Each structure stands twice: as structure tokens, then as C-alpha cells.
């Protein structure tokens, strides 16, 4: 399963909650990268070098990290991806990875939240880099790069839309209902 939604939609929180209810690992892009580095493998060393330089991890390197993570035993009964794929190219890469593993996506959940609420939530976090300008730029990048995946997965018959502008418990319940 893949969880999609704009920054501030609650993907990380809901991924953890849903994964616990389904007894599958919630796998975030950041968690995958940190785990690859912590393993001390050759792949981890390459990831660490890119991250230390402040650059973004390339699609090719990210694909290796995703493939390595999804091949682990705890993913045999399912998994929930949060933060991958983010681009159209990555959707094809994910399909290829899953084919290699003999798996397929069952669901893609899209958390829908009004933009004003996304900005409000981000400003409430009070992180140093959460200025309105930075938040708007993150949303612009999301709209350009990731939002097209919603239509892609809808055409594939995998997309389940969930209103993310509710209480955490209501959103979790709606997500569970959407995949039943």
C-alpha cells in the first residue's frame, strides 16, 4: 500500500496508526535512508555520502534503497509506503521493484486536506524552516511532481480518497474502511 498526500496532510501519523492496525511495517523515505546508512553496507555508504553533501538522493539510488527495504522479511505480509513514490518515474520504478519481488500494490490512499489547513498545520509545527513562503514552495513542488500520481493511481483502479481534514481517529477509521 502507498500513502499519498500533500505535506501536512498527516501521512506520517496515519501511516504509523494504519500500519499498527494492519500489523505491517510503515516505511517512510527518511526511515529507509537512515536504515540504509545505519546498516553500514556499501549501499548505505553511498546514501550517506549523498546526504552528507546536502544533495537529494537520485531516483536510481532511492530505487536501490526501496528494493533493499521491501525485500526484508517484515515486508512479506505487506507494507505501507509513505513518501515513495513521489514522481511519475518513481511509480514505474516501484512497479518494477514489486514485479521483481513477486508483489503488487493493493491500495493507494490519498489524504485530501484543503490547502489553507495544510498551511495552518505547518505553521503550528513551529519548525525553523516552516515559514509561509517555504510551505507554499513545498506545496508547489508537491502539486507539480507528486499530485499527478493521484490520477495515475485512480486510472489504475488503486486509489482510495480519504478526507484528511478530520480528527486523527476519524481519518484512521476512514482509511481502514477504504481498504476493506
Task: Sketch the domain layout of the chain as residue ranges.
Answer: 2-27+78-179
Give, for all 180 residues of the chain, the pLDDT tens digit: 999 999 999 999 999 999 999 999 999 988 888 888 898 888 889 888 887 777 778 889 999 999 999 999 999 999 999 989 989 999 999 999 999 999 999 999 999 999 999 999 989 988 777 788 888 988 998 999 899 999 999 999 999 999 999 999 999 999 999 999
The helix (run of H) or strand (run of E) holding residue 177 is helix 168-179
Please report the pLDDT score of residue 114 as a whole number.
96
CA 84, CA 151: separation in Å to the nearest integer?
16
Radius of gyration of the chain, Cα coordinates, nearest whole angstrom:
16
C-alpha cell at 104: 503488487
- Please name every residue paired with 82 in a beta bridge, in sequence order, or none if there are none: 3, 28
Please report the pLDDT score of residue 25 as a whole number.
96
Q: Which CATH number fits domain 2-27+78-179: 1.20.1740.10, 3.30.470.10, 3.40.50.300, 3.30.10.20?
A: 3.40.50.300
Please report the pLDDT score of residue 55 as a whole number.
74
Please report the pLDDT score of residue 56 as a whole number.
73
Q: Rounded to a whole number, what is the distance in angstroms from the first to the last CA of the chain?
A: 13
Please report the pLDDT score of residue 80 as a whole number.
96
Please report the pLDDT score of residue 53 as a whole number.
77
pTM of the model: 0.87
Quick check: 108 and 91 in contact, CB under 8 A?
Answer: no
Quick check: 43 and 64 in contact, CB under 8 A?
Answer: yes
Please report the pLDDT score of residue 41 as a whole number.
86
Residue 176 class from Cβ within 10 Å (0-12 exposed, 13-18 middle, 19+ buried)?
A: middle
CA angle 31, 34, 37 (to 5 degrees): 145
Amino acid at each position: 500500500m502507498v500513502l499519498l498526500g500533500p505535506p501536512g496532510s498527516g501521512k506520517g501519523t496515519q501511516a504509523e496508526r494504519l500500519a499498527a492496525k494492519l500489523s505491517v511495517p510503515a516505511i517512510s523515505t527518511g526511515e529507509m535512508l537512515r536504515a540504509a546508512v545505519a546498516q553500514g553496507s556499501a549501499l548505505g555508504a553511498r546514501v550517506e555520502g549523498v546526504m552528507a553533501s546536502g544533495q537529494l538522493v537520485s531516483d536510481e539510488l532511492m530505487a536501490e534503497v526501496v528494493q533493499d527495504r521491501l525485500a526484508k522479511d517484515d515486508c512479506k505480509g505487506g507494507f505501507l509506503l509513505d513518501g515513495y513514490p513521489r514522481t511519475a518515474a518513481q511509480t514505474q520504478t516501484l512497479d518494477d521493484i514489486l514485479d521483481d519481488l513477486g508483489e503488487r500494490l493493493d491500495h493507494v490512499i490519498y489524504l485530501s486536506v484543503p490547502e489553507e489547513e495544510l498551511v495552518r498545520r505547518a505553521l503550528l509545527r513551529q519548525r525553523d524552516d516552516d515559514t509561509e513562503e517555504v510551505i507554499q514552495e513545498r506545496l508547489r513542488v508537491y502539486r507539480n511532481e507528486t499530485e499527478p500520481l493521484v490520477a495515475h493511481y485512480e486510472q489504475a483502479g488503486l486509489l482510495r480518497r480519504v478526507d484528511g481534514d478530520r480528527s486523527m481517529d476519524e481519518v484512521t477509521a476512514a482509511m481502514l474502511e477504504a481498504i476493506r
